[in-house]
C-alpha cells in the first residue's frame, strides 16, 4: 500500500476552498455568523496567517487519516504489520492483493465513505457539542453539512486518485 502524497496534498486544500464558498455571505456565511454569535470585529481580530496555516496543517492530518477510512486495502496492509515489502510476508497477502488490490479504489467509493464519516462521526460529535453549547439547529447543520461535504470530496480524492 503506497500513500499518494499528491492526493493527500490536494485533499488538504479542499476544506479551505470549500470553506471559502460554504461560509461566504451569499451561501451560509450570514446565517452562520448570526447563529454562532460571530461579528465582523471578532473576525478581524484574529491572526489570519496563523489561522490558515494551522488549519492547513490540520487538513493535512485529516487527509492523511481519511485514506484509512476510504481505502480498504490499508486494513489488509495493517494485518501483516504494515510493510508489504518486508521479508517473510505471507504469500497469502500477495495472492489476496493480486485478486483484490485495486477493488473499490474509485472516486465514487471514496465519496461514499467520506459521506458516511460525515454522517456517523461528524454529526454525533458536532451535534453533541452544539447541544451543550446551546447552539441552534441551523448552526449545527451548517457546520455538519460543511464537514460532511468536505469529507465526501476528500474521500473521493484520496481513494480515487492513483
For residue range 75-123, what is the model confidence (pLDDT) as tens digits?
777 777 667 777 777 777 778 888 888 888 999 999 999 999 999 999 9
Q: pLDDT tens, 22-33?
A: 999 999 999 999
Q: 129: Cβ–Cβ under 8 A, 6 or more apart, which residues?
A: 135
> How many residues are recorded in the chain?
162
Between 101 and 130, the higher pLDDT residue: 130
Q: What is the mean pLDDT of residues 117-140?
A: 98
Asked if residue 124 has pLDDT above 90, the reply is yes
CA 145/CA 127 separation, integer angstroms: 11
Asked if residue 144 has pLDDT above 60, the reply is yes
CB 72 within 8 A of CB 110: no
* Backbone CA torsion sign across 93, 99, 102, 103: negative
pTM assigned to the model: 0.90
Amino acid at each position: 500500500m503506497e500513500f499518494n502524497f499528491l492526493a493527500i496534498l490536494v485533499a488538504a486544500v479542499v476544506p479551505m476552498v470549500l470553506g471559502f464558498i460554504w461560509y461566504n455571505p451569499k451561501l451560509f456565511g450570514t446565517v452562520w455568523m448570526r447563529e454562532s454569535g460571530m461579528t465582523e470585529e471578532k473576525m478581524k481580530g484574529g491572526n489570519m496567517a496563523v489561522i490558515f496555516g494551522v488549519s492547513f496543517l490540520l487538513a493535512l492530518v485529516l487527509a492523511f487519516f481519511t485514506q484509512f477510512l476510504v481505502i480498504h486495502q490499508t486494513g489488509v496492509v495493517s494485518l501483516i504489520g504494515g510493510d508489504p515489502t518486508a521479508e517473510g510476508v505471507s504469500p497469502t497477502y500477495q495472492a489476496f492483493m493480486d485478486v483484490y488490490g485495486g477493488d473499490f479504489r474509485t472516486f465514487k467509493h471514496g465519496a461514499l465513505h467520506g459521506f458516511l464519516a460525515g454522517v456517523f462521526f461528524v454529526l454525533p460529535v458536532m451535534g453533541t457539542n452544539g447541544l451543550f453549547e446551546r447552539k441552534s439547529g441551523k448552526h449545527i447543520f451548517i457546520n455538519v453539512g460543511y464537514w460532511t461535504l468536505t469529507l465526501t470530496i476528500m474521500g473521493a480524492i484520496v481513494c480515487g486518485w492513483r
